[in-house]
């Protein structure tokens, strides 16, 4: 039986009524869906993150000033599903954001307020990145309309994102750009990666291009690129068909042992032999992307959105996604959730054990089930199980470890 249901209940965590005049206290679970995050290259204590506030039509902007241990809500972008954030290379208070639309967003006051600029040629921006050598120079990968077809495009701004020009990076019809890598080793060198196996390189801000995607099939999507800081010939690409690696700056690529669909990949600027990628689990490399392994206990997520390696510490990294932001300080072996400073989540259903009311179960964001053994004071996520729809009801048996979940369509 297929069940259709609608729920308009959006709870600020889960609340229980206290004595007195109906006072309510939020008790969690505080699960924030973080769409993107970035650390400041000039001051790693500063970081920014954007959350998905569905069904609301805006994204909350979080800022950290203590190296990512805690985050405060500082502003809003009136777009959902932010795909990329980048902090200006020279100013920790200037931040750029994209969400796959025709607008690129900029804040000059630490994320408190945002302005937007329209991309030319019906452009759509997917990933934004600043230039480490030239102040005010910003790039974004996306697509624009050239004639009757979309082309993978590099958008260029020379005035801190106030105005943009477009430079088609490839002649392949119907292609989009997803990844933008500004080389930290070669002045003026920018790489763009995208659909149909595209990787292209420019040394003159997109005036001319060199195609460098041998080994990537036309069905491969290149979602992210990173470069070895000490040996720029070595690069890694997070693709729809796995993690690829090159030792000749993209002339040829080969697939590594991480042959799973990854979206983001990050090498440590401090020690590029260490790197991270993710697909349900976080994978780690200690040989600059040649081989990958899952450290134990490691980190398992519902859905990953992004990874960020700390610019000064090789063993520090962040992972963000459907369960907030997690931090590792031992190269991926152990992870701890950071305080995102916001506890607004959708909780469609909740179940309490009658024989032991301290045992509480809650469904969060459609498919994640959390359990509390302390009447809601603390929460842990239960192991995921195969599902094709959202959980719309929970029932707890007379024994607290017997739980029923009713699956339906939202």
b/e map of 54-66 (b: 16 or more CB within 10 Å)?
Answer: eeeeebbbbbbbe
pLDDT of residue 409: 55
Neighbours of 296 (CB within 10 A): 8
Say if residue 6's pLDDT is above 90.
Answer: no
Is pLDDT larger for residue 71 or for residue 381? 71
CATH classification (class only), 34-337: mainly beta
The tokens of 410 are what?
């939202």
pLDDT at 15 over 60: no
In whole angstroms, what is the distance from residue 210 CA to residue 204 CA? 11
Q: 141 pLDDT band (50/70/90 cuts)?
A: very high
Mean pLDDT, to the nearest integer, of 167-188?
92
Listed in sequence order, the residues at least 6 apart from 101 whose beta carbon sits closer than 8 Å to its beta carbon are: 79, 124, 125
Min mean pLDDT across 30-34, 36-40, 46-50, 80-84 is at 30-34
**Residue (of 351, 385, 356, 390) closest to 373 by Cα position:** 356
From the number of C-beta atoms within 10 Å of its C-beta (0-12, 13-18, 19+), residue 260 rates as: middle
Model pTM score:
0.83
Distance CA 403, CA 73 (A): 35
Beta bridge partners, 361, equal 351, 371
Q: Work out whether strand 84-87 and strand 177-182 pair parallel, antiparallel, or are unpaired.
A: unpaired
137-146: average pLDDT: 96
- pLDDT-derived band of residue 301, with 50, 70 and 90 as boundaries? confident
Quick one: CA dihedral 162, 46, 56, 139, positive or negative?
A: positive
With beta carbons less than 8 A apart as the criterion, state whether 250 and 236 touch: no
Structure confidence at residue 30 as a pLDDT band (50, 70, 90): low
Comparing 76-80, 197-201, 366-370, the range with the smallest average pLDDT is 366-370
> What percentage of the chain has pLDDT greater than the value 70?
88
Q: Which residues of 193-219 are buried (b: 16+ CB within 10 A; e: fewer)?
A: bbbbbbbbbbeebbeebebbbebbeee
- Contacting residues for 76 by C-beta, under 8 A, at least 6 apart: 58, 59, 60, 61, 114
Task: Determine the pLDDT at residue 361.
Answer: 81
Read off the pLDDT of residues 198-226 as tens digits, 9 standing for 90 and up. 999 999 999 999 999 999 999 999 999 99
Q: In which band, very low, low, confident or very high, does the pLDDT at 302 lie, cut at 50, 70 and 90? A: confident
Contact assessment for residue 229 and residue 272, using Cβ atoms and an 8 Å cutoff: yes
What does the pLDDT average to over 297-322? 90
> Which regions of 65-109 does DSSP assign to beta strands (E)?
72-77, 84-87, 95-98, 103-107
Helix residue spans in 6-128 (DSSP H): none
């Amino acid at each position: 039986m297929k069940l259709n249901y609608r729920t308009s209940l959006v709870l600020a965590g889960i609340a229980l009524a206290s004595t007195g005049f109906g006072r309510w206290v939020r008790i969690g679970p505080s699960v924030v869906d973080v769409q993107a995050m970035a650390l400041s290259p000039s001051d790693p204590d500063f970081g920014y993150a954007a959350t998905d506030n569905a069904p609301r039509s805006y994204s909350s902007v979080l800022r950290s000033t203590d190296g990512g241990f805690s985050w405060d809500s500082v502003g809003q972008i009136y777009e959902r599903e932010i795909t990329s954030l980048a902090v200006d290379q020279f100013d920790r208070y200037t931040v750029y954001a994209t969400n796959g639309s025709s607008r690129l967003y900029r804040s000059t006051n630490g994320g408190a307020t945002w302005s937007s600029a329209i991309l030319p040629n019906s452009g759509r921006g997917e990933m934004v990145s600043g230039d480490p050598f030239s102040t005010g120079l910003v790039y974004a990968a996306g697509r624009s309309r050239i004639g009757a077809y979309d082309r993978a495009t590099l958008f260029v701004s020379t005035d801190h994102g106030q105005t943009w020009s477009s430079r088609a990076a490839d002649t392949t019809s119907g292609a989009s750009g997803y990844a933008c890598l500004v080389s930290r080793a070669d002045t003026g060198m920018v790489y763009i990666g995208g659909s149909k196996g595209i990787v292209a390189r420019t040394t003159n801000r997109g005036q001319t291009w060199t195609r460098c995607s041998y080994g990537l099939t036309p069905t491969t999507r290149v979602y992210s690129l990173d470069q070895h800081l000490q040996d720029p010939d070595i690069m890694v690409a997070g693709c729809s068909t796995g993690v690829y690696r090159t030792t000749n700056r993209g002339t040829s690529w080969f697939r590594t042992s991480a042959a799973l669909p990854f979206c983001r990949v990050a090498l440590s600027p401090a020690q590029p032999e260490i790197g991270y990628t993710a697909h349900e689990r976080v994978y780690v490399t200690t040989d600059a992307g040649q081989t990958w392994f899952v450290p134990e206990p490691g980190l398992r997520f519902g859905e990953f959105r992004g990874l960020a390696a700390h610019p000064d510490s090789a063993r520090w990294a962040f992972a963000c996604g459907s369960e907030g932001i997690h931090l590792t300080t031992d190269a991926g072996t152990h992870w701890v959730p950071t305080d995102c400073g916001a506890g607004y989540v959708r909780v469609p259903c909740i179940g309490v054990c009658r024989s032991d009311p301290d045992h509480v179960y809650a469904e969060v964001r459609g498919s994640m089930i959390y359990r509390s053994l302390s009447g809601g004071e603390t929460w842990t996520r239960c192991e995921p199980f195969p599902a094709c729809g959202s959980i719309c009801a929970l029932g707890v048996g007379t024994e607290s470890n017997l739980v029923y979940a009713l699956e339906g369509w939202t």
